[in-house]
């Protein structure tokens, strides 16, 4: 990936990895299409397979993140939820790489 500080923000990193919806907007009306699938196919595959396992394991847990994952799966479906989690993970990774901080679990 190179230097994460060269990327403007987490959304740009997620777009570069191909885990955000393609956008086709005009006249103030936003239209979000399917996943853009830009970037490295193998890296995107790894980013999505990890959350698939996370969704599967979240069914046995009751912590806040697991509840969020299960509600996301209920709202969006079992195939879209892992991509949304991969998007979140990419943004978290960008924040960690640019701030040179260690990951701290949210309270």
| In-domain check, residue 107 | no
Determine phi and psi for 3, rounding to 5 degrees: -85, 120
To the nearest whole percent, how much of the chain has pLDDT over 90? 33
Q: Which ranges of the chain would DSSP assign to H, the alpha helix?
A: 10-17, 41-58, 64-76, 80-99
Average pLDDT value over all residues in the chain = 84
For residue 61, name the pLDDT band (cuts at 50, 70, 90).
very high
Is the pLDDT at 2 greater than 70? The verdict is no
Residue 70 lies in a domain: yes
What pTM, to 2 d.p., does this model score?
A: 0.77
In a domain, 46, yes or no: yes
Would you say residue 1 has pLDDT above 90?
Answer: no
Range of the domain at 38: 8-99
Domain count, the chain: 1
Q: Is residue 86 assigned to a domain?
A: yes
| Tens-digit pLDDT profile for residues 6-41 | 777 888 888 888 888 777 778 888 777 777 677 788
Is residue 33 helix, strand or coil? strand
Q: Is residue 71 part of a domain?
A: yes
């Amino acid at each position: 990936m190179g230097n994460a500080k060269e990327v403007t923000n987490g959304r740009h990193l997620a777009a570069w990895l191909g885990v955000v919806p393609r956008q086709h907007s005009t006249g103030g009306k936003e239209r979000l299409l399917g996943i853009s699938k830009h970037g490295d196919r193998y890296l995107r595959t790894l980013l999505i397979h990890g959350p698939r396992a996370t969704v599967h394991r979240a069914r046995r847990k009751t912590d806040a993140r697991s509840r969020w994952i299960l509600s996301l799966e209920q709202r969006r479906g079992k195939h879209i939820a892992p991509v949304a989690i991969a998007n979140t993970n990419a943004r978290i990774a960008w924040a960690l790489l640019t701030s040179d901080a260690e990951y701290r679990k949210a309270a």
